Every structure is written in structure tokens, then in C-alpha cells.
Amino acid sequence: MRTQRQVVNHSLRKRAVLRDLLTNRVGPLDVCDASPYLKNAARFHGEPTDERCPICRSENLTHVHYIYGDELRQSAGQARTLAELPPLAMTLREFQVFVVEVCLGCDWNHLVEQYLLGRDGLTESGPEQTAVGGVPATDASDGRRRREARR
Ligand SMILES: [Zn+2]
């Protein structure tokens, strides 16, 4: 998505949990604890994926997108389909998206990634400036902040 920014990937944490499971440091009941709310969100708003569940290996994972932010008011904390996000990103300045993977077979669930969406991500310099991994044009303001801090 065009305004996607500040992406935090949680795959390292997921790998750590799966490792703990293999070494019996945690049991399946500790990680396969999807709430009825989460499972309903997965059924009604989830995006099916081609990824097999790492625990039961019999179902594919479903991604649920939760949205948070002051501008969302009573919708904050609700699940949205992926198709509902771009229109929201064009109307709101900024909101946070949390992507949770859920297995409807064994109730495995884990936070996959989080990111910001919203019009604030559209810089005046255009989308070609928003390259991934690049240093955004905030150097000037950073310098100002650093100078202010020294004062
Ligand atoms: Zn499963």
C-alpha cells in the first residue's frame, strides 16, 4: 500500500516461539489460544493465505488486520478486510495496522507485523521518495531537534 510506513516485522519473535515449542519450553496450549473474537474476525474479515499453520499443518493461516488510532473513534480496535484499508488510508491522516495470523484449525495465533497507514505518508515529493529502507527526507528536522536538545 502506498502510504505504508514504519513497518515492524515480528517473524523473529514468531520463530522464537516456535523454537520454544519444539524444545517444550512452552506447550501448544500456551500458543494455540485464539479467542472466539479473534476467530470470528478471521472468519468474517480475514484474508486467507497459502501459508500452512506451523503447528497443526492441516489448515492454512488467515491474516486478520486490526486498526488502531484516535481518528478511528469507535472503530478503533476493530478488524478490517484488506480491501477496506486503502480507502481508509486515503481519508485518515494516520492509523496503526496490526496483522495477526490465525489458524482456525488449532487456534494458533501470532502477531505477524504492524505498520502505519494514512495520508500523512504521502509526502509532497511524491511516491518515488518513499523507497523502502531508504533514509527519508527528515534529516533536516532531525538536525533541528538535535540542536534544540543541545541548548
Ligand atoms: Zn493450526
**pLDDT tens per residue across span 68-101:** 999 999 999 999 999 999 999 999 999 999 999 9
For residue 105, what are the domain limits? Answer: 5-122
Residue 144 within a domain = no
**pLDDT tens per residue across span 15-53:** 999 999 999 999 988 999 999 999 999 999 999 999 999
Residue 67 within a domain = yes
The helix/strand/coil state of 68 is strand
**pLDDT tens per residue across span 110-128:** 999 999 999 998 875 555 5
CA of 78 to the centre of ligand 1 (A): 23
Per-residue pLDDT, 128:
52
User: What is the sign, positive or negative, of the torsion defined by CA atoms of 122, 126, 131, 137?
Assistant: negative
Residue 91 within a domain = yes
d(CA 10, CA 141): 29
Residue 135 within a domain = no
CA of 58 to the centre of ligand 1 (A): 6
CA of 9 to the centre of ligand 1 (A): 21
* Structural domains of the chain, count: 1
CA of 52 to the centre of ligand 1 (A): 8
Report the DSSP beta bridge partners of residue 112.
none
Per-residue pLDDT, 124:
57
What's the whole-number mean pLDDT along residues 61-65?
Answer: 98
Per-residue pLDDT, 141:
47
Residue 34 within a domain = yes
